[in-house]
A and B are shown apart, each in its own frame.
Chain A
Amino acid sequence: AQKVTQAQTEISVVEKEDVTLDCVYETRDTTYYLFWYKQPPSGELVFLIRRNSFDEQNEISGRYSWNFQKSTSSFNFTITASQVVDSAVYFCALSETWGTDKLIFGTGTRLQVFP
């Protein structure tokens, strides 16, 4: 069975601090995709990144970076020099390649960045 665990329910930091959001997944598939989505206070869901199971390269996009480690089934997300606008709920999600692409979401991590 597929499962995504985001153990951190809520994280509070002060602006300019770095913060890492953890994501651990379970799947029996050898090929799968991992995603991060952001849900700001306004409520919409914003796609951030997709990673397939064959690509373990870390990725950096501006202040965001992602660390995918297949050996530990983790796909962690780091925000460098956090800003108040980063305050949101962040969801990690998993989909299997040979199925319907339905997303299995974690329960989310609420990030609060204080000025």
Chain B
Amino acid sequence: NAGVMQNPRHLVRRRGQEARLRCSPMKGHSHVYWYRQLPEEGLKFMVYLQKENIIDESGMPKERFSAEFPKEGPSILRIQQVVRGDSAAYFCASSSGQGQGQPQHFGDGTRLSIL
């Protein structure tokens, strides 16, 4: 399967724990986007990364959230000290270029539940 791979599919954490969400882009794609979907809402942009660089993090909460896309390995979205309000579906998307309106192809998402 050469699509966008996200894991885990479901993640349960207790308040105060850390959550790590992983995303491997489609083969040949070097642009990764993270979006958050709160229950019964549309998707909201969080961050855009290229290899080893954060290009746009205008949608990221200022505290507790961070993202990386290392030279080797998947992109990671990290949420520290999770709270109930972090419960959501987190989607990763990848594309092959920037500024060309390239379609973003999405993974199946990670459903994060905070107890």
Interface residues on B, range: 20 to 34
What's the least CB distance linking A99 to chain B, in Å?
Answer: 7
Chain B residues, CB < 8 A from A100: 48, 55-56, 98-99
Complex interface: stretch among B13-21, B63-71, B72-80, B100-108: B100-108
**Distance between Cα atoms of A45 and B98 in the complex (Å):** 20
**Contact residues of A between 62 and 94, Cβ < 8 Å to B:** 91
Does chain B have a CB within 8 A of A50? yes
Most buried by B among A35, A44, A52: A44
- In chain B, positions 84-115 with a C-beta closer than 8 Å to chain A are 89, 91, 93, 95, 97-109, 111
A97 CB-CB contact with B under 8 Å? yes
A residues in contact with B98, CB < 8 Å? 100-101
How far is it, in angstroms, between the C-alpha of A105 and the C-alpha of B108 when the chains are bound?
A: 17
Which one, A47, A98, A106, contacts B104 given CB within 8 A? A47
Q: Are A43 and B109 neighbours in the complex by a CB distance under 8 Å?
A: yes
Q: Of the candidates B33, B42, B102, which one forms a contact with A106 in the assembled complex, judged by CB atoms under 8 Å apart? A: B42
Number of A-B contacts (CB under 8 A): 70
**B22 close to chain A: CB less than 8 A:** no
Contacts of A103 in B (CB 8 A): 33, 35, 43, 45, 93, 104
Chain A residues whose CB sits within 8 angstroms of the CB of B108 once the complex forms: 43-44
Contacts beyond the supplied A101-B98, A101-B99, A102-B33: 12 A-B pairs with Cβ under 8 Å? A33-B101, A44-B107, A47-B106, A50-B103, A91-B43, A97-B99, A99-B56, A100-B48, A100-B56, A101-B33, A101-B48, A103-B33
Contacts from A to B (Cβ < 8 Å) = 32-33, 35, 37, 43-47, 50, 52, 91, 95, 97-108
Q: What are 8 inter-chain pairs, A to B, with CB distance below 8 A?
A: A44-B106, A46-B106, A47-B105, A47-B106, A91-B43, A97-B100, A102-B56, A105-B42
